[in-house]
Amino acid sequence: MSAGPVAFPAQLVTLLRGSSRLVALTGAGVSQESGLRTFRDAHPSTGSGRAGLWSQHKPEDLASPEAFRRDPKLVWDWYAWRREAVKAVRPNPGHYALAEMEQHVPGFTLITQNVDGLHRMAGSQNVLELHGNIQRVRCAECYTFTEVWDDDTESVPRCRVCGGLLRPDVVWFGESLPRDQLEAAVEAARACEVFFSIGTSGVVQPAASLAFAAHNRGAVVVEINAEPTPLTQKADHVFHGRSGEILPRLVEAVWKIT
């Protein structure tokens, strides 16, 4: 799919040029062009290898405390595989465009649901990670973080402090989001002039409600996504296509043309 020529309304360009409080909420779609799989898009089964194995499971069924209790090794291995996949990829033009946007807007907050760390790698600085980071590993019992563990093929590695099982420091369904990150995100969403929702299906709470909070406080809401979402009807501007194509063109149109 190609974004084709994108026309940005003059009203939006002018608003963005004068904007000093801007929020961008990102989801898995932003990292799709780096080669990472999204959660809810249809995926062709590879039929072989690990990717094929995981395609038998719905990601949401693995991203929960219940799944970890039921089969810790299955969940650990899924994250170990994804951790390696993340290490092998690099930011794409969408990540870099958002990092550049931050240079032009004094009060820019990037709120991400992604656990891959690609926004920071692209140079974004004011980043709130709502769902944690897949490269961090901690004890499921005592919360102690660890950077070294014995990767046993038979069982999940254990905490050196209390013997509890190790797990990724990500937020699973039914778990609370990191309070400091969520509070800062809510505050930024309520105070911003423009709110971008980019590459997210907008179905996972509480992240999905941030765009509506911004809208209710009078912010202009802009959606960039491959397909319509529950936010589309409420958004003031909608651009359907790939974020890695649309975002660089937007930055060019708003901040690079005098």
What is the closest distance, in whole angstroms, from the C-beta atom of residue 18 to ligand BJW in the complex? 26
User: Is residue 175 part of the contact set for ligand BJW (CB under 6 A)?
Assistant: yes
Task: Answer yes or no whether residue 88 interacts with Zn ion by CB under 5 A.
Answer: no
162 binds Zn ion (CB under 5 A): yes
Q: Using the rule CB under 5 A, give the single segment among 87-95, 140-148, 168-176, 229-237 that binds Zn ion.
A: 140-148
Considering only the stretches 67-75, 96-104, 151-159, 209-217, report the one whose residues sit in contact with Zn ion under the rule CB under 5 A.
151-159
Structural contact between residues 120 and 127, judged by C-beta atoms closer than 8 angstroms: yes
How many residues touch ligand BJW under the rule CB under 6 A: the total is: 34
* Distance in angstroms (rounded) separating the CA atoms of residues 9 and 30: 22
201, two tokens: 């299906």
Cβ atoms of 75 and 137 closer than 8 Å:
no
Of the candidates 245, 251, 258, 201, the one whose C-alpha atom is nearest the C-alpha of residue 12 is 251
Q: Should residue 27 be labelled a site residue for ligand BJW when binding is judged by CB under 6 A?
A: yes
Specify the DSSP class assigned to residue 63: S
Asked whether position 176 contacts ligand BJW by CB under 6 A, the answer is: yes
By three-state DSSP, how is residue 70 classified?
Answer: helix
Q: Strand 132-139 relative to strand 145-146: parallel, antiparallel, unpaired?
A: antiparallel
Q: Rule CB under 5 A: choose which of 164, 178, 228, 241 binds Zn ion.
A: 164
Q: Which residues are catalytic?
A: 131
Q: If DSSP codes are grouped into helix, strand and coil, which group holds residue 193?
A: coil
Considering the rule CB under 6 A, would residue 33 count as an interface residue with ligand BJW?
yes
**Closest by CA position to 251, among listed 198, 190, 185:** 198
Phi, psi of 257 (to 5 degrees): -105, 125
The region of 56-64, 95-103, 126-134, 143-151 touching Zn ion under the rule CB under 5 A is: 143-151
Per CB under 6 A, residues contacting ligand BJW are 27-29, 32-33, 38-41, 63, 113, 115, 131, 170-176, 199-201, 203-206, 225-227, 229, 242-244
Interaction site with Zn ion (CB under 5 A): 139, 141-142, 144, 159, 161-162, 164
